Amino acid sequence: MEMIGFAFLLLGLLSPISVGSRIQASSELLDFEALNCRKHSSVLTQFGGKGDGKTSNTNAFRSAISQLSNVASDGGAQLIVPPGRWLTGSFNLTSHFTLYIHKDAVILASQDESEWLLIKPLPSYGRGRDDSGHGGNGTIDGQGAIWWQKFKNKQLQNTRPYLIEIMFSTQVQISNLTLLNSPSWNVHPVYCSDVIIQGLTIRAPVDSPNTDGINPDSCSNVRIQDCDVVSGDDCIAVKSGWDEYGIAFGMPTQQLIIRRFTCVSPYSAAIALGSEMSGGIRDVRAEDITAVTTESAVRIKTAVGRGAYVKDIYVKGVTMHTMKYVFWMTGNYGEHPDNGYDPKALPVIQNINYRRHDGRERHDCSKKGPWNCTGVSGVSSKVSPQPCSLLPEKQPGTIVPCAYPEDKLPIDNVQLKTCSASV
């Protein structure tokens, strides 16, 4: 029997308030940087919104977006959320649309489950991550404690909401937001291209379940930069579908750049690749990463049945303080959506380049020593402590087959425009 879940879908979200944007505030005008400016503008209060932290604004948001969608072909529209505390259930955004959240506004996720829209599972996953029912999503301050407790007590019949999920979209910007207490994943762009995520501050208790920071999933041409995440799970988890569903859907995550990123996650990774990677992951570049009290800097997670590949991964300039693992790769992560996966579908891991990493204060004293290598091949250069024998010192004149690329990804050529909003 098919289960029901909850959803908060944002299609083309923009909320440029905070560090990184050049913002000038007056009583009437705010200037900000964005991929695209909009011709039409409205304020949530025009649609009956009340920012008292108690009144539900679900209908106000839905009504505003529905009406503003009529001008999508006439220069698009932006909806301004003014100062206040705006309680709401889920709502869908539309194309050629900007959601502008004032720096003194807080959107609060409703804890009334009847205010959440119903959606089907993602086609590349087959079912929700928490349960076999439909998926679910949430918003800005997710007030997630009630969901974490239900998860820990095994009381869920549906997948928990995410804060922001953007689906089947292009030219997407998520910037200058503080995201708090997500019930599950915080930011999940899926089946998208040309995505910029920058200036996010994400906070969740380090023991909160599955509160991943940013999860690009089956996306192309993505830039993540200048973000700071404290999480109960991976700070960034790169994904592309789950087992036979992801293989059939066949959409990789590729051309991803991550830079100037800080992570605190005592039980997970700063950057994880997988474990849902059945559409493939390739051409991922990460640089200037800081991981503090984090279990591992980079973690590649795969399993029998995933198929596809993780390849052309380049990570440089990582500073680590109080770590358990620097790099961790596993092909036995387990967990499947159902029993229909192909046990012969084995993922391929190749062309992995880690360079210029500095780690201090390992918080786990393993008796196995600093390196534990099985089934790998490659070379190392000037690494201390000395790597395992499967990664011998590179000899002079040896050509490294997976050298760090010197070209720029297309997303780095994208320039933001200066736009305005009246409050």
Hey, which residues are catalytic here? Answer: 233
CA 146 to CA 155: how far, in whole Å? Answer: 11
Contacts of 395 (CB under 8 A, 6+ apart): none
- Burial call 222-246: b when 16+ CB within 10 Å, e when fewer: bbbbbbbbbbbbbbbbbbbbbbbbb
Query: Using CA atoms in the order 251, 252, 257, 258, what is the torsion angle rounded to 10 degrees?
Result: 100
HSE, CB side, 13 Å, CA atoms: give it for residue 303: 16
HSE, CB side, 13 Å, CA atoms: give it for residue 63: 13
Start-to-end Cα distance in the chain: 48
CA 275 to CA 263: how far, in whole Å? Answer: 19
Q: Which tokens in the block code for residue 364?
A: 């786990």
CA 16 to CA 34: how far, in whole Å? Answer: 7
CA 406 to CA 68: how far, in whole Å? Answer: 43
Within 10 Å of residue 355's Cβ, how many Cβ atoms?
Answer: 16
Q: Is the dihedral of CA 97, 186, 101, 256 positive or negative?
A: negative
- Residue 369 in contact with residue 332, Cβ under 8 Å? no
At 284 the three-state DSSP class reads strand
User: Do β-strands 253-264 and 220-230 pair in parallel, antiparallel, or remain unpaired?
Assistant: parallel
- Residue 298 in contact with residue 330, Cβ under 8 Å? no
Q: Which tokens in the block code for residue 203?
A: 């906070």
Q: Which tokens in the block code for residue 201?
A: 């501050």
